[in-house]
Structure 1
Amino acid sequence: MSSQQANLHPMLNIAVKAARAAGAIINRASLDLDALKVNTKAPNDFVTEVDHAAEQAIIETLLGAYPDHGILAEETGRTHGAKHSEFIWIIDPLDGTTNFIHGLPMYCVSIALTHRGVVQQAVVYDPTRNDLFYATKGRGAFLNDKRLRVSKRTRLSDSLVGTGFPYRRGDNPKRYLKMFEAVMTEVAGVRRPGAAALDLCYVAAGYYDAFFETGLQPWDVAAGSLIITEAGGLIGNFTGESDFLHQREVLAGSPKIYGQMVPILAPFTRVIKEEERAVAEEKQATAAEVVAKAAEPAKKRGPVRLKKGEADAA
């Protein structure tokens, strides 16, 4: 352990221990991917026994140290830990499962601790490179022993921007392609490695100048959000507001580039909200139809008439 890592906040120290335990499980499994059991949560959304084993190791480590804390984990939700604690650990045991399944070495473990909804501690661990990104609120962000700072580029045309492609059922690829084109024509390059938590850390490290994606969950962005802000960056939704954790859209970047990305992405946030509202209304309408149809036959049938034999038996 480095001198910097020896002085970590006690809660962050436990998170690092949990992340490394999960990373060890992931690295062992990566040596024999043919033996891996893969299940499908939804089309193009995979989960492996490694996700579950890594998550279990993290939860056991965290609750072993802090049994009165709550847990929000990707694979098991809120089934572990205290239900009403002010301290909530937000966990993604293996962000980039599809990459992992294919042997593409771009995936990570993400662990964040929130207190009353504010992220206080964050760890993102890349087990293939043994890279540990971490931050404590107010104390800066680090990669291993090195202090992180976002990039100093000021022109959008010089910028390298990370993103994530839509892949779930219900996502709108046509809308995304318009958004992609709007960004692509203004920047030097766009990249899509496939692990959002790691992408956010790459913004903090200055590898990217910005990152944007839709459809993300709290466990994808919680840890990375603190690492970015502690590295001097900004993170929010497409209209530049700080309410992003449950918005399913995120934009992050160095302050100068972030400010230039907001006008490009802001028009798309309204479209996203309208689509989500339309889907919700369609579901409500479908549910109402089902209820109406269930009641319909009883009205049409009228009173039940027994056949002669049935009447005699009655």
Structure 2
Amino acid sequence: MAVAINCAAKAGEWIKSRLGGYHDLNTKQSPQDLVTDVDKGAEAMIRKLILTHFPDHAILGEEGVAPGAAASAAALKQASESEYLWIVDPVDGTTNFVHGFPFFCVSIALAYKGEVIIGVIYDPMRDEMFVAEKGKGAYIHGQPSKVSSDAALSGSIVAVGFNPDREFALPVNMRGLNALSGEVRSLRAAGSAALHLAYVAAGRLSGYYEVGLNAWDVAAGALIVKESGGIVTDTTGNPYHIGVRHLIASNGKIHEELLGVVRAADATGL
């Protein structure tokens, strides 16, 4: 945990210092899927720090994987053969970072034999550190993290995502978004899967839905939600594991309602 927190804090502060000062801007899967020298530099920093302490551990980082669902699944399968696997997204919310929209974070998880046991999300713009250890609860700067008490979808704020995969994920997400818009109090789409999950854990959101995610987007956040008293499943209600790409997270009380709306809209992605 100490290593994960240290990595997130150091990378996050460096990322913040580079806001508005990146040099190389490129695209990956689509023109909406951005990567900068800051993403690559932050991941290199995190890798070096982890391997200094745990040279035998494996690391799965976003910037080391080719774009696309097939490449992501193949990289995860290969990496999962390791007993200890760090799952890293150095800048979750790169598009926000590029445009100066202050909603991005560092996400770091550690899986042991395929199960996430540590999750850390750091928001450098607000200096908020969300942490969880399996079976030991979740915390925000030392204060216990707890999901919201909203009991019905109609009284809930739910986050959604606009996935950069324009061929498959975005149309499915739009069906889900349209269906949810008439059922919830309000929708939010702030552009960082990891921070959406952290906000569910903190009770700021009551749910989050998105199709087409990757392990590094959600591994840390899924544990933080669960350790805060929430529920994380795939879009059909099966329990979360690190291979899940189509996700629903909630405070638990609205979970079945969320699943029902997404199923009825044919928006599960499965």
TM-score after normalising by structure 1: 0.78
Does 1:56 find its partner at 2:53? no
2:62 is matched with 74
Equivalent residues in 2 for 1:32-51, closer than 5 Å: 32-33=20-21, 35-43=22-30, 44-51=32-39
Residue 3 of structure 2 is matched in structure 1 by: 14
Specify which of 183, 186, 197 is matched with residue 194 of structure 2: 197
Shift of 1:245: 3.1
Q: Residue 254 of structure 2: SS of its match in structure 1?
A: helix
Decide whether the 8 Å contact of 1:204 with 1:231 is kept in 2. Answer: yes
Alpha-carbon distance in 2 for matches of 1:172, 1:257: 23
Q: 1 CA distance for matches of 2:3 and 2:172?
A: 41
Work out whether 1:239 is the aligned partner of 2:236. yes
Contact kept? 2:246, 2:269, Cα under 8 Å = no
Shift of 1:178: 2.5
Residues 1-314 of structure 1 mapped to structure 2, 5 A cutoff: 12-30=1-19, 32-33=20-21, 35-43=22-30, 44-77=32-65, 84-171=81-168, 173-243=170-240, 245-267=242-264, 272-273=269-270
Alignment-mate amino acid for residue 176 of structure 1? N
- Structure with a larger share of its residues in helix: 1
Secondary structure of the residue aligned to 1:255 is coil
SS at match of 2:12: helix
TM-score by length of 2: 0.90
Which runs of no fewer than 5 residues in structure 1 stay unpaired?
Answer: 1-11, 274-314
Identity %: 40
- Looking at structure 2, the residues matched to 41 and 267 of structure 1 have their Cα atoms a distance apart, in angstroms, of 32
Count the aligned residue pairs: 258
Alpha-carbon separation, structure 2, partners of 1:140 and 1:36? 39
Distance in 2 between residues matched to 1:271 and 1:253, nearest whole Å: 16
Q: Give the superposition deviation at 1:247.
A: 3.2
For 1:52 and 1:173, how far apart are their aligned partners in 2? 26
User: Could you tell me whether the CA contact under 8 Å between 1:238 and 1:269 is conserved in 2?
Assistant: no
Distance change in 2, residues 1:183/1:18 (3 Å): same
> 2:34 and 2:192 mapped to 1: Cα distance?
13
1:24 Cα deviation from its structure 2 partner: 1.9
What is the Cα-based RMSD across aligned positions, in Å?
1.9
Instruction: Tell me which amino acid in the other structure corresponds to 2:33.
Output: D
Aligned-pair CA distance for 1:263: 1.0
* Bigger Rg over Cα: 1
Deviation, structure 1 residue 112: 0.1
Deviation at 1:61, TM superposition (A): 0.7
Give the 3-state SS of the residue equivalent to 1:42 in structure 2. Answer: coil
Whole-angstrom distance in 1 between the partners of 2:176 and 2:81: 39
- The 1-side partners of 2:240 and 2:198 are apart by 19
Distance in 1 (alpha carbons) for counterparts of 2:133 and 2:118: 5
**How far 1:46 moved relative to its partner?**
0.8
